[in-house]
Amino acid sequence: SQQGEEDPQALSIQEGENATMNCSYKTSINNLQWYRQNSGRGLVHLILIRSNEREKHSGRLRVTLDTSKKSSSLLITASRAADTASYFCAPRGGSNFGNEKLTFGTGTRLTIIP
Amino acid sequence: DSGVTQTPKHLITATGQRVTLRCSPRSGDLSVYWYQQSLDQGLQFLIQYYNGEERAKGNILERFSAQQFPDLHSELNLSPLELGDSALYFCASSVGGQLQETQYFGPGTRLLVL
């Protein structure tokens, strides 16, 4: 398992605007997952994108994956106050059975200003 | 609600003491993961169990031990406690064994060591 590096570290936008955050990783992956953490609470799984996929949507979320650049981005459209949270990416590679652990970076702290 | 339960929610104790954190995975999930989140270390993987057996080990200190019981619940024991063990401890579960599985996180146990 490898660690993803999220960028930027912090992002503040007005409610209704779109938020984009990025994730870079170092070695080849099987899939990449995005998680959200509201302050001091457990992580919530947002979306999983496989290495053979380029784009995936889930509601207001859009995730892209560029394996040639070893990077992914998470776009949240029409942001709401409830989107205020930290966002983490978790790239995963290697074989099954023993590599399922998630390794997190420092995350992107997103603040939505009402 | 992820379906993963953790008890207790909060714990305040003293250095040198012993605590046991408990986790019940989602129904049907065979894998349990423990993570520690602290201000200086971020979110770190500690250990994974699959159907009662240890499957992967991360940054778990020798003072910590864990196990998964036949009913699949898991316990994380920390002893003797040090000030630096103050952190949020999360348990997550998944069906087990596959890289593309989602991990579902519990609400966490907040440990404060005085």
Per-residue pLDDT tens digits for B37-75:
998 888 899 999 999 999 999 989 999 999 999 999 999
The residue of chain A with its CA nearest to that of B54 is: A98
SS (H, E, C) B67-98: EECCCCCEEEEECCCCHHHCEEEEEEEECCCC
Neighbouring-strand partners of residue B109: B89
* pLDDT attached to residue A27: 86
Please state whether the peptide bond connecting residue A8 to the residue before it is cis, i.e. omega within 30 degrees of 0: yes
Minimal Cβ distance to B98: which of A94, A96, A106: A96
- The yes-or-no verdict on residue B83 having pLDDT over 90 is yes
**SS3 of residue B26 by DSSP:** coil
Number of A to B CB contacts under 8 A, please give it.
76
Of A1, A33, A104, the CB nearest to B43: A104
pLDDT digits (tens, 9 = 90+) for A47-88: 999 999 999 999 999 999 999 999 999 999 999 999 999 999
Report the pLDDT value the prediction gives residue A17, as an integer from 0 to 100. 97
Amino acid at B59: N
pLDDT class of A98 with cuts at 50, 70, 90: low
**Which among B39, B43, B51, B111 is the top mutation candidate for probing chain A, defined by the most A β-carbons within 10 Å of its own β-carbon?**
B43
List, in order, residues 6 or more apart from B41 with CB less than 8 Å away: B59, B87
Residues of A with CB under 8 A from a CB of B: 1, 30-31, 33, 35, 40-45, 48, 50, 88, 92-107
Report which of B48, B82, B90 is spatially closest to residue A44, judged by C-alpha positions.
B90
The whole-angstrom distance between B99's CA and the closest CA on chain A is: 5
pLDDT at B78: 97
